[in-house]
Amino acid sequence: MKNTHTLTCLPMKLTLPILNQLSVELEITDNPYGLTPDDLFQMAARINKKRSFLFVSKVLGKHIPINPKMGLITGALLANRYIETVKGKETGCRAELLFSFLNDSQRFVDDPFIDEQVNPVIIGFAETATALGHAFYHSFKQANFLHTTREELIGIEPVITFEEEHSHATSHRCYVDESILNNDREIILVDDEMTTGKTNINIIRSIHAKFPRKMYTVVSILDWRTEEHLQLYKKLEQELEITIHSVSLLKGNIQISGSPEFEGKLTDETEPVRHTSAVSTINLKDQFSKEFPSIYYSSISQEGDVRNIPFSAETGRFGLSAASNRGINQSLKEIGQFLSTLRTGRNVLCLGTGEFMYVPMKLASYMGEGVSYQSTTRSPIYIKNHEQYGAKYGLTFPNPEDGGIKQFVYNIPPNKYDQLFIFFERAVSMDKLQPMLHELMKANIPDIKVVFFNGSCMSDE
């Protein structure tokens, strides 16, 4: 059982070493649920000239494997905080949600608890917060959800676009029917962490230019915006004559000092002994064709290749309603129970890919005990096998869905898992899977199952 770590004295200052000479000083100024930094994140050094550090979340299921229910609970905890902060009401779920969070989901709340009178449009940011945004949305009985995407589709124009300056992939697109945004409902923007908050300002400007309204809310697990950045929000409120609310689980200030001063390779120079894994594929569309409708758009890769394999409608990339969310939840439960019958190991890792995070996380939550969840990522991070460092192990490979994009997966130590499920929204050829499988075999996982939602493994790419 976790310690509740209730913090009674604010502000609270602490210094966290990251790598070599790089460190961050935190001043926590708001902590409504008494959580500690150790409950929420570790630090790592990021290979990015625009930002040298990374808050590696322990609750998102991106870089660090988690109990999949913890990712879902985190979204619900943020939704509960939103009602308390923005609506000034109590849901009656605070104590139970916080208990589940602090005690590894022993009392998991999986039903929407925010009543129908609250009916916002919720937007999650790709790629890291697609699952967090969807988990946040799942707490609402009445709402719409979409997530931004880095995919470039053929034959359809995005309804809005905006930039995320510090990211490795800066351009975001939203492919939804205009009716979802062409209204005066509150828009809630969900991200994992705000350091400057400029991404939110960019999307608010983009939305407001086409679909103006009076109220926006920005939601994040961590909020490190300085007073200077907060003033930018106030200026935007005055300029557009809008209200922007802010919701977070941990708020404060950060000061970065030093640099990684890293020399040599980014991964361990010692080539591990590679073991052969048994690899098999599962095409869920063959067995659950009625559960998941497809969205038939082609995409174009960074290398200029056109992929004609359809997308899945249940991810949120093309928008979801409250009715569709209820149906998706039931279907995922059935599929998760089916996948649990294919388990051969006690320690199982479910691996989402890129933006395809929420559906695999939800499935993993239905696959029984001993299941961990995480996802691949675009973020290159320095590797250091140290207890308090956020990226102890690292693998890298070209994205099987787009060879022009390098992907990474972190914190999979050798010999920890005896079975791996890899989830793809759209099928890829076995040839394009090989580099990824080759890397994952370094972890010595005896059985690897590759799960496709649309298309089959031998599809012509």
- What does the pLDDT look like over 395-453, one tens digit per residue? 999 999 999 999 999 999 999 999 999 999 999 999 999 999 999 999 999 999 999 99
Confidence at residue 197, expressed as pLDDT on a 0 to 100 scale: 93
Q: What is the rounded CA–CA span in Å between residue 78 and residue 315? A: 20
Closest CA to 37 of 410, 375, 388: 388
Please give the torsion angle defined by the CA atoms of residues 111, 331, 402 and 148, in that order, rounded to the nearest 10 degrees.
-40
pLDDT at 380 over 80: yes
Reported as a pLDDT band with limits 50, 70 and 90, residue 168 is very low
- More confidently predicted of 221 and 3: 221
Amino acid 285: pLDDT: 83
- DSSP summary character for residue 167: S
> Please, what's the largest Cα pairwise distance for the chain?
61
Q: Residue 194: how many CB atoms within 10 A of its CB?
A: 22
Among 440, 354, 389, 131, which residue's Cα sits nearest to residue 260?
A: 389
Q: Sign (positive/negative) of CA torsion 89, 97, 128, 63?
A: positive
**What pLDDT score does 196 carry?**
93
Question: Cα dihedral angle (202, 204, 206, 211), rounded to 10 degrees?
Answer: 180
Is a pLDDT exceeding 60 seen at residue 175?
yes
Q: Higher pLDDT residue, 50 or 124?
A: 124
Q: Which of 243-247, 293-297, 396-400, 440-444 has the lowest mean pLDDT?
A: 293-297
Output the CA–CA distances (angstroms, integers) from residue 34 to 5, 129, 249, in the order listed. Answer: 6, 23, 9
**Among 217-221, 351-355, 456-460, whose mean pLDDT is lowest?**
456-460
Confidence of residue 245 (pLDDT cuts 50, 70, 90): very high
Q: Which residues of 362-381 are buried (b: 16+ CB within 10 A; e: fewer)?
A: bbbbbbeeebbbbbbbbbbb
What pairs with residue 247 in β-bridges?
219
Residue with tokens 């770590």: 5
Give the distance from CA 280 to its chain's centroid.
26
| pLDDT score, position 291 | 67
pLDDT, residue 456, reads: 65
Question: Are residues 402 and 429 in contact, defined by beta-carbon separation less than 8 angstroms?
Answer: no
Return the minimum-mean-pLDDT range out of 191-205, 270-284, 348-362, 420-434: 270-284
pLDDT recorded at residue 264: 39
Residue 316 has pLDDT above 50, yes or no: yes
What pLDDT digit, counting tens, does each position of 14-30 carry?
999 898 889 999 999 99
Question: What share of the chain has pLDDT > 90, as a percent?
Answer: 75
Confidence of residue 272 (pLDDT cuts 50, 70, 90): low
Q: C-alpha distances in angstroms, 116 versus 79, 146, 185, 329? A: 14, 18, 13, 18
Quick check: 170 pLDDT over 90?
Answer: no
CA distance 316 to 117: 22
Ranking 53-57, 268-272, 319-323, 448-452 by mean pLDDT, the lowest is: 268-272
d(CA 390, CA 397): 20
What is the average per-residue pLDDT within 295-318?
89
Per the CB < 8 A criterion, the answer to whether 9 and 17 are in contact is: no
Mean pLDDT on 135-146? 96
Residue 461 has pLDDT above 50, yes or no: no
Contact yes or no for 148/129 (Cβ under 8 A): no
Q: Is the pLDDT of residue 9 over 80?
A: no
CA dihedral 391, 193, 31, 384 (to 10 degrees): 10
Q: Are strands 215-223 and 187-194 parallel, antiparallel or unpaired?
A: parallel
Cβ atoms 89, 115 nearer than 8 A: no
Asked if pLDDT for residue 387 goes beyond 90, the answer is no
User: Average pLDDT of 358-364?
Assistant: 97
pLDDT at 169: 47
Whether residue 268 has pLDDT greater than 80: no
Would you say 297 and 154 are in contact if contact means Cβ atoms under 8 Å apart? yes
Helices and strands of the chain, counted as H and E runs: 10, 23
Angle at CA 197, nearest 5°, toward 192 and 199? 85
The CATH number given to 278-299+322-454 is 3.40.50.2020
Q: What is the mean pLDDT of the chain?
A: 90
- Rounded Cα gap, residues 394 and 90, in angstroms: 42
pLDDT at 267 over 60: no
Answer whether residue 289 shows pLDDT above 80. Answer: no
**Angle, CA 321 vertex, CA 337 and CA 127 arms, to 5°:** 70
Residue 167 is predicted with a pLDDT of: 47
pLDDT at res. 1: 44
Residue 439's contacts (CB-CB under 8 Å, 6 or more residues apart) are 395, 396, 397, 409
Question: 271 pLDDT band (50/70/90 cuts)?
Answer: low
Closest CA to 307 of 316, 294, 296: 296
